[in-house]
Chains A and B, each alone.
Chain A
Amino acid sequence: MSGNDWQAGIDVGGTNTDLILLDVAGEAFRVAKVPTTPEDQSRGVMAGLTAGGAVLSELSALLHGTTIATNAVLERKGARIGLVTTAGFRDVLELGRRTRPYNYGMFGYFEALIDRELRLEVAERMDAKGRILTPLDEVGLGVALDRLRELGAEAVVIHFLHAYANPVHEERALEIAAARWPNDYVTASARVLREVREFERASTAAVNAFVQPVLARYLGRISERLGAEGYGRDLLVMQGNGGTMTAPAAARQPVQTVMSGPAAGAIAAARIGQAAEMPDLIACDMGGTSFDVSLIRGGEPALSAEKDLAYGVPVRVPMVDIHTIGAGGGSIAHVDEGGILRVGPESAGAAPGPICYAKVGERVTVTDANLLLGRVDPAGFAGLDGRAGDDAVATALREQIGAPLGLDAVEAAAAVLAVAGNQLASAIRLVSIEKGNDPRDFALFAFGGAGPLHAVALARELGIPKVLVPRFPGITSALGCVLADLRHDYVETVWRSLGDVDTAAAEAILAEQARRGRAAIAEEGVATAAIDVLHEADLLYRGQSHVFRMAVPGPGFSAEAVAAGLAEQYRARFEIVLEDMTPVLANLRTTVFGRRAPLDLSRLGTAGGRVAGGATMRPVWFEGGFVETPILPRESLGPGDRVEGPAIVVQADTTIVVDPAARGEIDSHGNMIIVVGGDDDGQEG
């Protein structure tokens, strides 16, 4: 490494740890991919830095995406935590909101994140307006905290009813806990989420506490290792909202790191799309077992207010809105008892895996179908010991899929891909129309190992005209880490008719939120090019329960302007005018961005130069039969180069299929832009 201002993005995924290094002033960059080390992710991170040739003392920023928080919840491997709550409400987390896991089937299983034994009550009560009905029993609180320590709780949640309206009891409880609790792992619900809805707030606070000791220890460990190797700054951690914060801040609010890896992927898609002048994207990340879809509008990923991490475990913090569909290369295809071909949601996963990974006799997957049709390179599996031959794959396809449907092996494989593509396209459509968008107004951004393999077919099915495949689809999340801004989100519930909102009070809330955001960014001490503040309001018409979020038209807060904005938004979305209804201001929100200096991505297109290498040929199946198709190494393509379909473009981390009707071109940033072309058959109205 030369020069002394490099930045590194590292994304730790389930299988691989990906790294990208960028020279801020120059044009150089490097990428690396090493196996993730699940027992201690910091080893994989250090190995990745070494593999990428990073000199830690020359790094001006190191940004980290991590799955630790998400996985701790999914695998229930967090800390033993306790709860102190309002008398009469210890079971809020266990009762949930009267649901069941499946629409049909009166069964299922649920364990609350906090064991009932560790959920204690204390006398205190606010009313809905934040007036104290019962003062906080401070002695009782102390006794409860001591009892939780005896029971072995490492972290504790303080959750009081209506604390969003008046947090004074929670704040006092924090003071008492500061003197009595042996560590910093104390979460007050309104500090994490100052919003009405006791179960969702409790669950968010519980997730925070549950993952806090695990994440804090990890961040401490890796910061120490990095420091020992010469890195002199705070590690920056990716948040689920698509922004970053420092490691100490992340250790205080670990719930913000939930979904940080997928969020980084969406940020990268957004930035690459902006640079390519394609600001509206449907980003599709297809890996082995799952398919993550996110919408990007006007260059920014859509956010969601809430996500169910698992059944009965909602997290209500702003997160990049990622919809996970249970379909990937490993999805199993089968013919059901009614004779209908189905793909997924069952997946072969890494083990047993697709048949072509030497899993003879196992069930057919999407990857197997791709292999038989020549879409992926058989040689790509050559490194695997004892790879099953094409014959085994063909036999399995013929027996499991072909025989019950009256198809031969190739027809069966084509059917599997068609059905899988159709299901994915339907899911993508629902995701986009749920947000009020027509998918045809977007381009499809394909990443992950399997995304570019299916992208053109999906786009065709959806009527999407263009596909964007970035230069390095396999390290998109790591790239997103490097590109992310600092970001802090705040919310406060108001819950009043818009006409009754006191303008000065509303402006005071927004000003205080902005002040806290600016202070947080100043305290983090990361170089920023600018600070941006975004004020938003959640609104609904009295009687409704779905809120609409809109930017507060500045300057200041004007109820009339907000009401007009809501009416306009409603009309645009649903073609319905509701002039007689009463608008209600549910919440006020502020997001503060610390903009980091932009990095020039054009280097990805040209750096390293074009590697000479001609096309080989291979028969690949497209609609109608096998066609002798050129197989091009991605490294052989440079800006301005065109690829006419049919063609297969291969690179280390993915395979791009350009079908006969499509044609691709490499843009100045090294992206491959594919015009889907063909007739309008797939473009539904």
Chain B
Amino acid sequence: MSIDPVTLAVIENGLRQVCSEMDLVHEKTSFSPVISEAYDRSNGIYHRDDGEMIAQGELGLPIFLGVMQFATQAVIERRRDLEPGDIIIQNDPYLGGTHLMDVKMVMPFHYQGRLWCWLSNTGHWPDTGGMVPGGFSSTATEIQQEGLRLPPVKLVKRGELVQDVVDIILNNIRVPEERIGDIRAQIGALRTGEKRLTALLDRYGAETVDAAIRELKGRSARLMRARIEAVPDGTYSASAFIDSDGVVNEPLEIALDMTVAGGEITFDFTRSSPPCRGPMNSVWATTQSAVYVAIKHIFPEVPINAGCFEPLHIPIPEGTFLYAQYPRPVAGCAAEVAQRIMEAVFAAMGQAIPERLFAAPAGTSGNLALGGYDPEAGGYIMYLFSGGGYGGWWETDGLTNGCSSVGISKTQPIEILEQHYPLLFERYALREGSGGLGKHRGGFGVDYKIRLLRGEGKASFLMDHGRFGPPGLIGGEPGAVNEIEVSQAGERSVPEHLSKGEGYVLSEGDWVHVKTPGGGGYGPVEEREETLRERDRRRGYDGEG
């Protein structure tokens, strides 16, 4: 059926609106600060037959761009027994997932007596059990150490919460009382989607909306192809390196051969390193999502639905750490490996169309976890995710202290962290000299030092770019590497794996000092304008001011 242009535009807007309202309810009612403050969640609508993305909230966390579709597909394949009112919960990384902390819910949406689509969402829970609070162990060697792994099981059956499942979950995770709030928030978001989508279908008719969805998918695909056609055909190769897997102290290589031809791109990662012992493996869903997010960062104007992925091909990188199989540990896949995959895509595209690219961003979530006991307030777990410099780009210098490329979350204010935890920040500063030099300099990382005021705590680090700085583009220099230093009873040390380590026991007076990476430079430094050099000197950006 043909569909008039107004109806098409209005339905596109309406589908997006349903997702935005789901995101809003999810965020506002969650207990997990990772969801409510860091927006680490996503909500969307997926096709009834193949689970392809119809629409997903624009304010959802970027890395879930493809993941949610894969998670929904896993449910379609495995659960043919679903009834109206059922909701599935799952977090299995190997079934369209990321790390275990990203808990997905998938709900069949029925309209006029038949399955019409799937509504799915995901939220990052602060804990799902496992060997370290928060789940970001850097030394796990099998998935069981990382937390509770839920296959697609019914959390809600015909509208009723399945208490047995809830009890199993709550018995296996830390701070369970807050998680029941998160479960309700996540279900609430799906119910909002149900209500709003029903209204949309009532208004325009299921057949018309179906036709619009098909049309919109085709148009997104065409739009993406048009963008790709502007990229010169050819094969572009680039590599990105992860410092180590946290267990074996050797770098891992993401080797990309990117072929652009006839409006399509093939991303071949098969030359990459084999699976690793530590938790820096990436599951297939996350690997694919990373490519999608990278492309969306390069062509942000293309509307998100399954159509925009159509011209993108990723042959299965069998035998590499980017195609992890059970029971490989995967805690670092969403936060770190995905960012390195994106860095490889940025670098390859940077060779093809440097006029619309940027040098590498800091590209690490800079995760410091600190769990301990405060004699004044009791037990606690703190996560501190840090930003870093973005790469210089075609117009100007890179941003300072930007968010990770997979996320959109803000850091917690220092004053709030000091309210909650027995810590004192001795400094929280721009890291001078960290931006890669270039015609357009990379942005700066952060330099912070935390001292433990009371009791005992245990620190762990899951960061990256400690061995190699974020590379420059077209002659720009790399940004500074990530640095960590720990002082225990006056004894200073640097983690053996540079950017990763755990089990650092801290006592009163001990401290941790972290310097996050700067972004890569863009263009040769010789071409930098003198006025900008002068300004940087005045501001002490070079570390000598």
What is the interface of chain A, defined by CB distance below 8 A to chain B?
A: 87-92, 94-100, 102-110, 115-117, 125, 127-128, 133, 161-162, 164, 196-200, 336-342, 405-407, 414-415, 418-419, 422-423, 426, 429-430, 433-434, 495, 541, 543-546, 574-576, 578, 580-581, 681-682, 684-685
Hey, which chain A residues are within 8 Å of B426, CB to CB?
88
Q: How far is the CA of A345 from the CA of B25 in the complex (A)?
A: 26
A92-B428, A98-B387, A340-B12 known; A196+B203 contact, CB < 8 A: no
B223 at interface, CB cutoff 8 A: yes
Supply 19 A–B pairs (Cβ within 8 Å), ascending by A. A88-B426, A98-B402, A104-B297, A106-B358, A115-B539, A197-B416, A338-B220, A338-B222, A339-B222, A341-B9, A415-B5, A426-B14, A434-B24, A541-B181, A545-B37, A546-B36, A576-B188, A578-B181, A685-B199
**CB atoms of B418 and A127 under 8 A apart:** yes
**CB atoms of A162 and B418 under 8 A apart:** yes
**CB atoms of A100 and B399 under 8 A apart:** yes
CB-CB contacts of B165-206 with A at 8 A, as 1s and 0s? 000000000010110010011001000000110111011000
A407-B5, A581-B177 known; A107+B358 contact, CB < 8 A: yes
Q: How far is the CA of A125 from the CA of B409 in the complex (A)?
A: 28
**CB atoms of B58 and A198 under 8 A apart:** no
Hey, which chain A residues are within 8 Å of B482, CB to CB?
none
Hey, which chain A residues are within 8 Å of B10, CB to CB?
418-419, 422
- Count residues of chain B with CB under 8 A from any CB of chain A: 91
Cβ-defined partner of A95 (8 Å) among B203, B297, B446: B446
**CB atoms of B408 and A340 under 8 A apart:** no
B34 to chain A, nearest CB (A): 10
Hey, which chain B residues are within 8 Å of A97, CB to CB?
410-411, 413
B396 at interface, CB cutoff 8 A: yes
A117-B539, A128-B419 known; A684+B203 contact, CB < 8 A: yes
For residue A129, which residue of chain B has the nearest CB? B419
Cβ-defined partner of B33 (8 Å) among A117, A406, A545: A545
Hey, which chain A residues are within 8 Å of B133, CB to CB?
none
**CB atoms of A685 and B9 under 8 A apart:** no
CB-CB contacts of B398-424 with A at 8 A, as 1s and 0s? 111111010011110111101100001
Hey, which chain B residues are within 8 Å of A116, CB to CB?
430, 539-541
Q: How far is the CA of A87 from the CA of B402 in the complex (A)?
A: 23
B296 at interface, CB cutoff 8 A: yes
Q: How far is the CA of A475 from the CA of B336 in the complex (A)?
A: 55
**CB atoms of B6 and A94 under 8 A apart:** no
Hey, which chain B residues are within 8 Å of A414, CB to CB?
6
Q: How far is the CA of A448 from the CA of B24 in the complex (A)?
A: 29
Interface centre among B12, B400, B414, B426 (most CB of A within 10 A): B414
For residue A422, which residue of chain B has the nearest CB? B10
B436 at interface, CB cutoff 8 A: no
Cβ-defined partner of A340 (8 Å) among B8, B33, B395: B8
B13 at interface, CB cutoff 8 A: yes
B538 to chain A, nearest CB (A): 5
**CB atoms of A196 and B21 under 8 A apart:** no
5 more CB-based (< 8 A) A-B contacts, given A91-B429, A196-B413, A422-B13? A97-B411, A97-B413, A197-B415, A341-B6, A543-B31
B17 at interface, CB cutoff 8 A: yes
Interface centre among A109, A162, A337 (most CB of B within 10 A): A337
**CB atoms of B188 and A128 under 8 A apart:** no
Hey, which chain A residues are within 8 Å of B158, CB to CB?
none
Hey, which chain A residues are within 8 Å of B393, CB to CB?
106-107
What is the interface of chain B, defined by CB distance below 8 A to chain A?
A: 5-6, 8-10, 12-14, 17, 20-21, 24-25, 28-33, 36-37, 58-59, 62, 175, 177-178, 181, 184-185, 188, 195-196, 198-200, 202-203, 216, 219-220, 222-223, 226, 296-297, 300, 302-303, 346, 358, 361, 385-387, 390-391, 393, 395-396, 398-403, 405, 408-411, 413-416, 418-419, 424-430, 446, 449, 453, 538-541
Q: How far is the CA of A199 from the CA of B426 in the complex (A)?
A: 16
Q: How far is the CA of A164 from the CA of B401 in the complex (A)?
A: 25
B62 to chain A, nearest CB (A): 7
**CB atoms of B219 and A338 under 8 A apart:** yes
Interface centre among A100, A407, A430 (most CB of B within 10 A): A100
Hey, which chain B residues are within 8 Å of A96, CB to CB?
401
Interface centre among A104, A342, A419 (most CB of B within 10 A): A104
A-B pairs, top 10 by smallest CB distance, nearest first, are A98-B387, A88-B427, A338-B219, A104-B300, A684-B199, A116-B539, A91-B430, A338-B223, A97-B410, A128-B418
Cβ-defined partner of A430 (8 Å) among B17, B226, B395, B425: B17
Q: How far is the CA of A128 from the CA of B413 in the complex (A)?
A: 12
**CB atoms of B446 and A100 under 8 A apart:** no
**CB atoms of A161 and B415 under 8 A apart:** yes
Cβ-defined partner of B416 (8 Å) among A103, A110, A196, A415: A196
For residue B301, which residue of chain A has the nearest CB? A336
Hey, which chain B residues are within 8 Å of A337, CB to CB?
222-223, 226
Hey, which chain B residues are within 8 Å of A423, CB to CB?
13
**CB atoms of A426 and B428 under 8 A apart:** no
A84 to chain B, nearest CB (A): 16
**CB atoms of B17 and A426 under 8 A apart:** yes
**CB atoms of B399 and A110 under 8 A apart:** yes
Hey, which chain B residues are within 8 Å of A117, CB to CB?
538-540
**CB atoms of A88 and B58 under 8 A apart:** no
**CB atoms of B429 and A89 under 8 A apart:** yes
**CB atoms of B403 and A196 under 8 A apart:** no
**CB atoms of B17 and A574 under 8 A apart:** no
B295 to chain A, nearest CB (A): 10
A366 to chain B, nearest CB (A): 14
Q: How far is the CA of A430 from the CA of B20 in the complex (A)?
A: 8
**CB atoms of B296 and A88 under 8 A apart:** no
Q: How far is the CA of A423 from the CA of B10 in the complex (A)?
A: 8
**CB atoms of B413 and A199 under 8 A apart:** yes
Cβ-defined partner of A341 (8 Å) among B5, B424, B430: B5
Cβ-defined partner of A100 (8 Å) among B198, B403, B425: B403
Q: How far is the CA of A110 from the CA of B400 in the complex (A)?
A: 8
Q: How far is the CA of A183 from the CA of B424 in the complex (A)?
A: 35
A105-B300, A162-B418, A685-B199 known; A580+B177 contact, CB < 8 A: yes
A106-B390, A581-B181, A684-B200 known; A94+B430 contact, CB < 8 A: yes
A350 to chain B, nearest CB (A): 26
Interface centre among B188, B199, B401 (most CB of A within 10 A): B401
A574-B28, A685-B202 known; A107+B539 contact, CB < 8 A: no
**CB atoms of A100 and B36 under 8 A apart:** no
Q: How far is the CA of A541 from the CA of B185 in the complex (A)?
A: 14
A326 to chain B, nearest CB (A): 15
Cβ-defined partner of B6 (8 Å) among A88, A99, A197, A415: A415
Cβ-defined partner of B429 (8 Å) among A88, A115, A197: A88
Hey, which chain A residues are within 8 Å of B396, CB to CB?
109
For residue B299, which residue of chain A has the nearest CB? A104
**CB atoms of B21 and A433 under 8 A apart:** yes
Hey, which chain B residues are within 8 Å of A91, CB to CB?
428-430
**CB atoms of B429 and A90 under 8 A apart:** yes
Cβ-defined partner of A103 (8 Å) among B6, B62, B195, B413: B62
Hey, which chain B residues are within 8 Å of A105, CB to CB?
297, 300
B23 to chain A, nearest CB (A): 10
**CB atoms of B401 and A543 under 8 A apart:** no
B403 to chain A, nearest CB (A): 5
Interface centre among B59, B400, B449, B541 (most CB of A within 10 A): B400
Q: How far is the CA of A428 from the CA of B304 in the complex (A)?
A: 23
A427 to chain B, nearest CB (A): 9
**CB atoms of A418 and B199 under 8 A apart:** no
Q: How far is the CA of A104 from the CA of B303 in the complex (A)?
A: 11
**CB atoms of B17 and A106 under 8 A apart:** no
Hey, which chain B residues are within 8 Å of A419, CB to CB?
6, 9-10
**CB atoms of A339 and B219 under 8 A apart:** yes
**CB atoms of A495 and B399 under 8 A apart:** no
A412 to chain B, nearest CB (A): 9
Cβ-defined partner of A106 (8 Å) among B29, B181, B297: B297
Hey, which chain B residues are within 8 Å of A580, CB to CB?
177
For residue B16, which residue of chain A has the nearest CB? A426
